[in-house]
Amino acid sequence: MPHPCRHSRPGWILLRAIMDGIPPLKDKRLIIKDLIFEKVKVRLYQPKTSTTGQRRGVLYFHGGVGRLGIFSHLHNEIHECTNEKTARAPLSRYDHTETLLFPCRYRLAPEFPYPTQFHDCLTATIHFMKTAQDYGVDPARIIVCGDSSGGTLTAAVAQALVNRKDVPKLRAQILIYPFLQAADFNLPSYQQNAKIPVLIRERTLILGLKYLNKDISAVNILLKGSHISEERRQKYQKWLSADNIPHEFKMRGYTPPGPPAPYSEEIYKLAKPFLEPLFSPLLCEDNVIAQLPETFILTCEYDVLRDDGLLYKKRLEDHGIKVTLCHLEEGFHGTIFLAAYSKVVTFQSGIKDLRTT
């Protein structure tokens, strides 16, 4: 696999600086402001339509946190197209004039290494929860939302808040094709979609290793599961077993894997951060899972991360958490992201989701 981001460091830092100067998208129906929440940059999208009561507040965490060089920042900027549509389109049964959207512009790797991204998102969320009424938002109606690795951040933030007494409870979390675990790369969706763009199986692991600033030479042995001891394998089995995935998702090109690869203590030490709930929220303990808020999960059929969402749904429901699943049968990883450019290229699965979810 070619080394990503061969641009010189000064070159892509300069491009990022240029991108920082791009003004927010304009829309006559929205008030758009750049704000600071405890040194974390956020952008406010507020409908100009007046309301009689307090609004709902949504904190949004974009994907693309890892060592993607300029592309991570471009991903951030392009997400503003999606954010603008989200802010002015009825994405649910709720009136969209009742919602304020706050995309969090957390600091990016590689300049700011993991777990800076999580801490920025958590800091911004706590600040907003404590000051929500200053923006006309009901503190009991705050939602966190994210896509891809932003979905990882969303799940990790929700988990970090469950035992806090100084902030209100989250109303809900929205996870859009989230990455949720790095223990098993042989789930049905990883097998079925191993070579399907935009997120192929090997690339998923390479991005994770680079995000953690780890050596990527161990990719193949990690894909075989050599970082999981027998003890951990038994513990994770109840959460990650393919038996927990509905049969209809295993009919297309899935073969139950054979015996696991031999455990390697060296590989485990390399990959230890992979198994922490901050990076793999699906592996969080039951006492935290049981306290999570109502959840919406979007999965795509042609996405290696599909089963992460399905397994998290099962874990949450096993603990009595209400979960709504939206599965896009023709969707692929990045569907919503690409649908922001529907005026140029048509991605029907993403556009349908933007309008009806």
Tens-digit pLDDT profile for residues 184-235? 999 999 999 999 998 999 999 999 999 999 999 999 999 999 999 999 999 9
pLDDT, position 302: 97
Sheet holding 294-302, edge to edge: 30-37, 40-47, 99-105, 55-61, 137-147, 172-176, 294-302, 323-332
Selected catalytic residue, list 308, 333, 349, 353: 333
Burial class (CB in 10 A: 0-12, 13-18, 19+), 191: buried
| Alpha helix (H) residue ranges in the chain | 9-20, 70-88, 116-131, 149-161, 188-192, 201-211, 219-223, 230-240, 265-271, 286-289, 306-318, 335-339, 348-356
Distance CA 201, CA 186 (A): 9
> Is 148 in the active site?
yes
Amino acid at 112: F
**Model confidence over 20-77: pLDDT tens digits?**
444 455 678 899 999 999 999 999 999 998 888 999 999 999 998 754 544 444 445 4
DSSP 125: H
Is residue 267 within 8 Å of 222, Cβ to Cβ?
yes
pLDDT, position 345: 43
Residue-range domains of the chain with CATH = 24-354 (3.40.50.1820)
> Is 3 in the active site?
no
Selected catalytic residue, list 147, 184, 303, 308: 303
- Give this prediction's pTM: 0.85
pLDDT, position 127: 98
Distance CA 287, CA 128 (A): 26
Residue 303 CB partners (closer than 8 Å, separation 6+): 177, 189, 193, 196, 199, 331, 332, 333
Amino acid at 93: R
CA 38 to chain centre: 22
Q: Give the least confident one: 59-68, 75-84, 269-278, 335-344.
A: 75-84
CA 242 to chain centre: 22
The partner residues of 61 in beta bridges, in order of sequence, read 104, 146
Selected catalytic residue, list 62, 127, 148, 349: 148
Distance CA 201, CA 300 (A): 15
The partner residues of 59 in beta bridges, in order of sequence, read 102, 144
Is residue 342 within 8 Å of 355, Cβ to Cβ?
no
**Model confidence over 90-101: pLDDT tens digits?**
333 445 578 999
Average pLDDT value over all residues in the chain: 84
| pLDDT higher than 50, residue 346 | no
pLDDT, position 335: 86
pLDDT, position 27: 73
pLDDT, position 304: 98
Kind of pairing between the strands at 99-105 and 55-61: parallel
